[in-house]
Chains A and B, each alone.
Chain A
Amino acid sequence: MTTPPAARLGNITKSFGRFPALSGASLEVRSGEIHGLLGENGAGKSTLLSIFGGRLRPDAGSLEIRGTRTEFGTPGDAAAQGIGMVHQHFALVPAFTVLENLALGYRSSRSRWTLPIPDLRDRAARLQAETGLRVPLEASVERLGVGDRQRVEILKALLIDPSIILLDEPTAVLAPSEVDTLFGLLDRLRAQGRAIVLVAHKLDEILGVVDRVTVLRRGRTVLTAGRDEVDGPALVRAMVGEGPVADPAVPDIPRPRGGRVPPGEVVVSLEGAPTSGLNGPLEIRRGEIVGIAGIEGNGQGSLAMALAGRSRPPGTRVRLPAHLGFIPQDRTRSGLAGSMSLVENLALALHRDPAYRTSRPGLPSLLRWSALRERAGELMERYGVSGPGLDAPVAALSGGNQQRVVVAREMALARDVLVAENPTRGLDVASTTFVHQQIQSLSSTGDRPPGVVLISTDLDEIMALAHRIFTIVRGSLREVPRDARSREEIGGLMLSGVEAV
């Protein structure tokens, strides 16, 4: 008789309202393996993992733990079954100390009247020695950096001595060298006989570490195989479906010849703290795409806000043109007001344009709603936005259509410059290609094409699109020399940056 798998989720379905997130997803993990869970954005990986970890309840499906049929329960039930989860968005209380955070999920001491702090301190110290996950236990979590917070999150999962460990995109916030450390740890945990599920949407990163993979596509399990039985292209095919194979990270687009800066007047110039590592201000010219690469959390957000004129960081001077478009990273939360109609969302950005308002001396300026409506209809047609109409709240639009509304609006504004921060994050392949094409055509058509600033954590995207590349490390920019445009060299600069100067 063979030993049963550590866990088996069978035929899981889960819908959110009308939207089916999972429709027949299955996953089987064995003890002593690292199991890669792959899929595009929107394939349902996080949903499946949340169901596994007890945070979501499926509409239908079965769960077996070590061969025993089990009911889906709460996160507490999952923990009792030996399932430890490392969340993508850390489930930590910032105002608590590390120890208090560890105590939150910890239920072994059973005393209702005392916190098991001394006990936890011992156990955490032992675990730290074992795993090398060093964080100051008495520090308040809000003072810790992203890497430390992830270590706390992993410690918290390990504290219950789980037989199954679920990690949701743990590499997203880590630098390449930190990724290696993490995988080293996972290796040791596997050697102890634990089952590990590792979610990622970047294929190459995890192929070296996994034993088996399961691929989800549109909420369905389409492939489960041993690492040796499949190659990269086959996995990509499984992730994106049949048809022409395209590397999801690098869509098929004409690449600019690195280093050729198209001539054009300077439209944006930025001086101050971010440019201390440059010989002069950061200048953006018409017709060029400037890429700014960096690991998440290195000051991209405030740089984007400064370049878009939304905030003025002290000690930074920015010269900006009149017509500027800005695609914020969090497009649907900071780009669109869900309760407002499509026309109103367009007016959000266009209301400053004199073409859409009437001003008479002595009277308040009025909005020209008829002109705004007309423009809205026109843009929605050109960008292929389909939805319940111009007067319906944009929250009623599908996610993809919401993205298009933001892109359409900001491209229409960007007659001088477009600032885009991770414009394709969270998009599927088709939408990503669409956005890339729009950016390229924007910066290359017309007599006076606008300049583009592309701030992205996706190095491949930057290498594919940008004429000039900068790295950003702890808020400071450095230009990548033309002869150093390789993945490895830029990756190294993204890490070292400041110290290397």
Chain B
Amino acid sequence: MRARPFIAIMGNPWVSGATALALTGLVAAASLWLGGFDPLAAFASLVRGSLGSPGAFLSITLVRAVPLILTGLAVGVAFRAGVWNIGAEGQLYAGAVAAVWAGLHFGTLPAALLVPLVLCASALGGVIWILVPAFLRIRMGVGEVITTILMNFLGIHLAAWMVRGPLQEPRGIFPQTESIPLSAQLPVLFPGTRLHLGFPLAMGLAVLAWGFYRWTVAGFRASAVGASEEVARVAGAMDVNRVLTGTFLASGALAGLAGGVEVAGVTFALYEGLSPGWGYTAIAVALLAGLHPLGIVGAGVLFGALEGGAGAMQRNAGIPSAWVSAVEAMVILSLLAVGVASRSRTAGPPTTANESGGIVAGTGGSDEDPGHA
């Protein structure tokens, strides 16, 4: 019953996801072997470093997974409705700035008030950062791919300015902010670990998103707009702009929240380079999950393990940690390749763009033009 947006071309998400991961494993092993490394030792130390102990799993893998799940949800929500938000990185920074500002400015409030306030501020920061692309897309018909990328740089510059200007720590030496007070920090779940409240929060949001698409009218509308704006408008008589507006705002809020949760749960202060590109990795996370909200949790944990284990892999097997980014790229490319393979298996007649009255990937023959048939 779930709507299948464009990802439907990849066939069953479980099958294509598993195939892509297997393919990635092969290519990754081959690249290590070619580079003169031992793939088995690499994988072993990667797994040990990320999953080998409860401490590693809770404090490294799951902590790394939180911003990936939240930005993954931001990208997933957007892509599902056909919004190409490539700007989660900038929205994350805007959210982090807003969170730190709120945490410092309202530092005297009790934790019960301050923590929600900080999180709401970060979501709002993300929303503000997506407003311009949303406005340009919805009101002026300017595609959001380029505008959200531009906003990424503005977000990064905003953070850079904040940590050297208005929010710089009082001594004015380091390019970073003061730490937010304890009452603004997310509580740790298990004493002795670093796993914070952000993880159950991200899980909860994923479950909410799943129910939203599964059962609600609004969720169905979003999926319909993602399947085809034209069809949603003409056959569904939907207010497409309203759906798009809601999608932009929700996506921006989720990405902003990722920044807020990272600041309030892990770093407690803002500095340049807070995110190692989570906003871009999020695209791989969301795609690997087939845009399914619960799948995004799984893919986020997987990528968290990958990034979390990279350090151990470098220490123990001498594999450069940067290689993990290459593996993430391989995951995306493998997914795309699997999609191409499954597409060519079920190939229908070709279609051409400038025709009217075409049959959608049709197999029947009541239309005349070759592109239709």
> Which residues of A does B touch, CB under 8 Å?
14, 16-19, 21, 39, 41-47, 50, 56, 88-89, 201, 305, 308-310, 326, 328-341, 343-345, 347-349, 351-352, 357, 364-367, 369, 391, 393-403, 406, 409, 425-428, 431
Q: Which residue of A lies closest to B6 (CB)?
A: A339
Q: Are A348 and B231 in contact (CB under 8 A)?
A: yes
Contact among A17, A328, A366 with B216 in the assembled complex (CB-CB below 8 Å): A366
How far, in whole Å, are A182 and B320 apart by their CA atoms in the complex?
71
Q: Is B350 an interface residue (CB 8 A)?
A: yes
Chain A proximity mask over B330-373: 1 for CB below 8 Å, otherwise 0 = 00000000000000000111101011111111111111111011
Q: Are B370 and A16 in contact (CB under 8 A)?
A: yes
Q: Is B140 an interface residue (CB 8 A)?
A: no
Minimum distance in angstroms from A43 CB to a CB of chain B? 7
Minimum distance in angstroms from B57 CB to a CB of chain A? 35
Q: Is B217 an interface residue (CB 8 A)?
A: yes
Q: Are B367 and A348 in contact (CB under 8 A)?
A: no
Q: Are A16 and B373 in contact (CB under 8 A)?
A: yes
Contact among A334, A364, A366, A428 with B234 in the assembled complex (CB-CB below 8 Å): A334
> Which of these binds chain A: B169-177, B188-196, B219-227?
B219-227
Minimum distance in angstroms from B75 CB to a CB of chain A? 19
How far, in whole Å, are A403 and B370 apart by their CA atoms in the complex?
18
Which of B5, B220, B235, B361 has most A Cβ within 10 Å? Answer: B235
Contact among A309, A395, A428 with B366 in the assembled complex (CB-CB below 8 Å): A428
Q: Are A332 and B358 in contact (CB under 8 A)?
A: yes
Contacts of A365 on B, CB cut-off 8 Å? 216-218
Q: Are B373 and A21 in contact (CB under 8 A)?
A: yes
> Which residues of B does A touch, CB under 8 Å?
1, 3-6, 8-9, 212, 215-218, 220-221, 223-224, 227-228, 230-237, 347-350, 352, 354-370, 372-373
How far, in whole Å, are A399 and B372 apart by their CA atoms in the complex?
9
Contacts of A431 on B, CB cut-off 8 Å? 366
Given contacts A46-B368, A88-B369, A348-B232, contact A329 B359 (CB under 8 A): no
Q: Beyond the given A47-B370, A326-B237, A334-B233, could you list 12 further A-B residue pairs with CB under 8 A, ordered by the A residue number? A: A332-B362, A334-B231, A340-B4, A341-B1, A344-B223, A347-B220, A367-B217, A369-B1, A394-B360, A397-B362, A397-B363, A398-B362
Contacts of B212 on A, CB cut-off 8 Å? 364
How far, in whole Å, are A46 and B8 apart by their CA atoms in the complex?
30
Given contacts A329-B357, A367-B217, contact A21 B365 (CB under 8 A): yes
Q: Are B361 and A338 in contact (CB under 8 A)?
A: yes
Minimum distance in angstroms from B342 CB to a CB of chain A? 13
Contacts of B373 on A, CB cut-off 8 Å? 16, 19, 21, 42, 47, 399
Q: Are B216 and A367 in contact (CB under 8 A)?
A: yes
Q: Are A348 and B235 in contact (CB under 8 A)?
A: yes
Contacts of B232 on A, CB cut-off 8 Å? 337, 348
Q: Are A17 and B349 in contact (CB under 8 A)?
A: yes
How far, in whole Å, are A351 and B219 apart by their CA atoms in the complex?
11
Contacts of B354 on A, CB cut-off 8 Å? 89
Contacts of B352 on A, CB cut-off 8 Å? 89
Minimum distance in angstroms from B24 CB to a CB of chain A? 25
Q: Are A395 and B360 in contact (CB under 8 A)?
A: yes
Contact among A41, A42, A366, A401 with B217 in the assembled complex (CB-CB below 8 Å): A366
Q: Are A16 and B349 in contact (CB under 8 A)?
A: yes
Q: Are B356 and A364 in contact (CB under 8 A)?
A: no
Q: Are B365 and A398 in contact (CB under 8 A)?
A: yes
Q: Are B366 and A399 in contact (CB under 8 A)?
A: yes
Q: Are A399 and B369 in contact (CB under 8 A)?
A: no
How far, in whole Å, are A230 and B308 apart by their CA atoms in the complex?
80
How far, in whole Å, are A66 and B26 apart by their CA atoms in the complex?
56
22 contacting pairs across A/B (C-beta < 8 A): A21-B370, A42-B368, A44-B368, A46-B370, A47-B373, A310-B234, A330-B356, A332-B357, A334-B230, A334-B233, A334-B234, A337-B235, A339-B8, A343-B1, A348-B235, A349-B237, A365-B218, A393-B8, A398-B364, A399-B363, A426-B357, A426-B372
How far, in whole Å, are A364 and B217 apart by their CA atoms in the complex?
8
Minimum distance in angstroms from A149 CB to a CB of chain B? 12
Q: Are B364 and A401 in contact (CB under 8 A)?
A: yes
Q: Are B368 and A309 in contact (CB under 8 A)?
A: no
Q: Which residue of A lies closest to B347 (CB)?
A: A17
Contact among B3, B218, B223, B237 with A310 in the assembled complex (CB-CB below 8 Å): B237
Given contacts A16-B350, A17-B363, A329-B356, contact A351 B368 (CB under 8 A): no
Minimum distance in angstroms from B52 CB to a CB of chain A? 41
Minimum distance in angstroms from B16 CB to a CB of chain A? 15
Q: Which residue of A lies closest to B215 (CB)?
A: A366
Contacts of B223 on A, CB cut-off 8 Å? 340, 344
Q: Are B3 and A397 in contact (CB under 8 A)?
A: no
Contacts of B366 on A, CB cut-off 8 Å? 41-42, 398-400, 403, 426-428, 431
Minimum distance in angstroms from B142 CB to a CB of chain A? 17
Contact among A333, A344, A364, A399 with B218 in the assembled complex (CB-CB below 8 Å): A364
Given contacts A16-B349, A352-B237, contact A399 B216 (CB under 8 A): no
Contact among B8, B224, B361 with A348 in the assembled complex (CB-CB below 8 Å): B224
Minimum distance in angstroms from B287 CB to a CB of chain A? 16
Q: Are A351 and B217 in contact (CB under 8 A)?
A: yes
Q: Lowest 3 CB-CB distances: which A-B pairs, in order?
A: A16-B349, A398-B364, A338-B360
Q: Which residue of B lies closest to A401 (CB)?
A: B364
Minimum distance in angstroms from A272 CB to a CB of chain B? 20
How far, in whole Å, are A313 and B350 apart by their CA atoms in the complex?
35
Contacts of A402 on B, CB cut-off 8 Å? 359-360, 362, 364
Q: Which residue of B lies closest to A364 (CB)?
A: B216
Q: Which residue of A lies closest to B368 (CB)?
A: A41
How far, in whole Å, are A228 and B79 apart by their CA atoms in the complex?
61
Q: Are B235 and A333 in contact (CB under 8 A)?
A: no
Contacts of A369 on B, CB cut-off 8 Å? 1
Q: Are B368 and A337 in contact (CB under 8 A)?
A: no
Given contacts A331-B357, A348-B224, contact A339 B4 (CB under 8 A): yes
How far, in whole Å, are A41 and B365 apart by their CA atoms in the complex?
9
Contact among B221, B357, B362 with A351 in the assembled complex (CB-CB below 8 Å): B221
Contacts of A339 on B, CB cut-off 8 Å? 4-6, 8-9, 227
Contacts of B217 on A, CB cut-off 8 Å? 351, 357, 364-367
Q: Which residue of B lies closest to A357 (CB)?
A: B217
Contact among A14, A19, A336, A425 with B365 in the assembled complex (CB-CB below 8 Å): A19
Q: Are A335 and B237 in contact (CB under 8 A)?
A: no
Q: Which residue of A lies closest to B237 (CB)?
A: A310
Which of A338, A348, A366 has most B Cβ within 10 Å? Answer: A348
Contacts of B235 on A, CB cut-off 8 Å? 326, 328, 334-337, 345, 348-349, 406, 409
Minimum distance in angstroms from A237 CB to a CB of chain B? 20
How far, in whole Å, are A447 and B233 apart by their CA atoms in the complex?
32
Q: Are A399 and B362 in contact (CB under 8 A)?
A: yes
Minimum distance in angstroms from A461 CB to a CB of chain B? 16
How far, in whole Å, are A340 and B360 apart by their CA atoms in the complex?
11
Contacts of A400 on B, CB cut-off 8 Å? 364, 366
Minimum distance in angstroms from B162 CB to a CB of chain A? 37
